[in-house]
Amino acid sequence: MSKAFTPRMVEAMRPRIQQITEGLLDRIEAGGGGDLLAEVTYPLPATVVMEFIGVPAPEHARMTQLATRMMALLGAQYATDAPAIARGAHEAMNEFTGYLTGLIAQRRSAPQSDLLSTLIAADGPDGRLTDEELILNCMAMLNAGLETTANYLGNGTLALLRHPDQMRVLRDDPGLAEYAAEELLRYDGPAPIMTPQLAAEDVVVGGQLIKEGQLLYPVVGAANRDPARFPDPERLDLTRKPNGQLSFGFGIHFCVGAALARIEGQTYFPALLNRFPHLRLDPDAAPPRFRDDPLLRGLEALHVRVD
């Protein structure tokens, strides 16, 4: 996967990401404001990841909906209607599998310059990927790349709105985009509790013995505010460097899409402030509320005014 997901391929998306961002901001501008989540922070990563994989535009809306239904499974253990969510996720997986099977067949006979064609052609130590592996990798990317990035951009925007001094810092110096994108990931990342991990051997962490085979939930949201690592950790500081935030995880499962998500943040935040110097929360809308999901930290909506 990482062989296909090369830095060059990701970097090549930057101008297109800028173009998609500006197009989505046009819609907010035309309305004098709106729900940034629905209008921008969700459609942006959805369009990016689907174009990157090679899903044709007319299918984007349907695939986004399927991804949302699959991802709902993550928080299902905390929901009262868990069986319905699980059934919905299962149906979505079947529909996605059916669609991708057809798309893979098309790309096999007529390759294009997209990730799916690259993955089909990629030769690993165990040969080429099977259809099942291709489908599961695309599913993982769609699921892992959409909601996370949408919430990253949403949580980051709220953090900026709540820190007008920092908003000004980035607006006046868009050259800080790279640092700002890291700091906003650190300050309020979208996946504060990582997937559970099993200890491979006995290990002592902070004086606590963790035995081989015990289940751990690494809370990167807490690690990102570790005062031993980050001076004045509760302060949002878009010029913070070095940063070393852990929102993309670590080790062999380090986020495959980190470079792509970073470019989306580096593009979106300065573009938003450049376009809307007077961005503010909509005083007529209910105050922003975080959804009741401890694994995917994100807002229900983010109504803003830009006039």
Binding-site ranges for ligand HEM (CB under 6 A): 49, 140-141, 144-145, 148-149, 152, 189-191, 194-195, 247-249, 253, 255-257, 260-261
Q: How far is the CB of 145 from ligand HEM (least distance, A)?
A: 3
Q: Specify the residue for token string 């986020």.
A: 255
Q: How far is the CB of 247 from ligand HEM (least distance, A)?
A: 4
Q: Specify the residue for token string 């060059």.
A: 8
User: Which one, 219 or 281, has the nearer CB to ligand HEM?
Assistant: 219
**Would you state the structure tokens that stand for residue 69, as one six-digit string?**
């239904």
Q: How far is the CB of 47 from ligand HEM (least distance, A)?
A: 12
User: Which one, 33 or 190, has the nearer CB to ligand HEM?
Assistant: 190
Distances (CA, A) of 181 to 1, 160, 265: 25, 11, 5
Beta strand pairing call for 208-210 and 303-305: unpaired
Q: How far is the CB of 83 from ligand HEM (least distance, A)?
A: 25
Phi-psi label, residue 207: left if phi above 0, alpha if psi -120 to 50, beta otherwise: left
Q: How far is the CB of 199 from ligand HEM (least distance, A)?
A: 14
Alpha helices per DSSP H over 110-227 = 115-121, 131-161, 164-172, 177-187, 220-223
Q: How far is the CB of 30 from ligand HEM (least distance, A)?
A: 27
What residue is closest to ligand HEM based on CB?
257
| Residue 8 CB neighbours (<10 A) | 6
User: Which one, 87 or 291, has the nearer CB to ligand HEM?
Assistant: 291
Cβ neighbours for 181, distance < 8 A, ≥ 6 positions apart: 262, 265, 266, 269
Q: How far is the CB of 94 from ligand HEM (least distance, A)?
A: 21
Element of type H or E holding 281: strand 280-281
User: Which one, 84 or 216, has the nearer CB to ligand HEM?
Assistant: 216
User: Which one, 148 or 306, has the nearer CB to ligand HEM?
Assistant: 148
User: Which one, 161 or 295, has the nearer CB to ligand HEM?
Assistant: 295
User: Which one, 88 or 156, has the nearer CB to ligand HEM?
Assistant: 156
**Would you state the structure tokens that stand for residue 280, as one six-digit string?**
């503010």
Q: Specify burial of residue 147 (Cβ count, 10 A radius: 0-12, 13-18, 19+).
A: buried
